[in-house]
Structure 1
């Protein structure tokens, strides 16, 4: 859910469904959207130009949640890399890229 809220923050004014559809299956997206709507984090409305398209936007409560998530993620990131030198972080990223490639 955290990923989905952050994703909406960056893509709110784009053709979200087209982009999300390449990442997740439509029934999964629909369930997530309605769950977030039930929690008061999203609003939905039918597109004026095309009744088949549902427009999704964050509510004020949704934006507040995104801000909280970003604050926590920032603190976590800062704490995670405490004591590491920039070169250590660079090496870590290189190793993570190799691991990711191995898993694909």
Structure 2
């Protein structure tokens, strides 16, 4: 049983994004664009591009390309940082808000459908278990990134 849990945990994000992609297709956004917009919204405006790339889990050059496309659509603005002109900070435009509200409504609906059959107590327990698993994974990652001792 435990051996299949990892595979199931890995499959869920792909399934989630696939369903969201299909439902968000009428808005004319690729997965890369809606994921980027949604993360900017959730992270809060004015964060540097490098922070956004780290949160999304993409390389900076890929994010730069996506942000350029979102700028062309009039959905985001990149502004130079006051303290470091080389760094760009990301801001949503007013045109992005109605689109983000639609994305959020679709995501909420999908979330509700995913959790059918689970009550509030089960969802709280699941969240606790996932937090424990994540903390264990982060601890493993931190140990493996430590320089070897001589």
TM-score by length of 2: 0.52
Secondary structure of the 1:60 match is coil
- 2:76 paired with 1:42: yes
After TM superposition, give the deviation of residue 26 of structure 1 in Å. Answer: 1.4
1:26 aligns with 2:60: yes
How many residue pairs get aligned? The number is 101
Compared CA separation, residues 83 and 27, structure 1 to 2 (3 A): same
Q: Name the structure where helix makes up a greater proportion of residues.
A: 2
2:4 match: none
- Relative to structure 1, the CA distance from residue 46 to residue 86 in structure 2 (aligned partners, 3 Å threshold; closer, same or farther) is closer
Residues of 1 paired with 2:75 and 2:86: CA distance? 22
Cα displacement string for residues 42-95 of structure 1 (whole angstroms, at most 9, x for unaligned residues): 112233443212222101111221111111111111222233334554676658
Unaligned runs of 5+ in 1: none
Aligned-residue offset at 1:7: 1.2
**Which stretch has the larger CA shift, 49-58 or 81-90?**
81-90
- Give RMSD over aligned pairs: 3.0
Aligned residue number for residue 12 of structure 2:
none
- Per-residue deviation, 1:31: 0.4
After the TM superposition, which segments of 4 or more aligned residues of structure 1 sit over 6 Å from their partners?
none
Q: CA deviation at 1:17?
A: 2.3
Q: Are 1:57 and 2:91 counterparts?
A: yes
Question: Gaps spanning 5+ residues in structure 2: where?
Answer: 1-32, 138-150
Tell me the TM-score normalized by structure 1.
Answer: 0.70
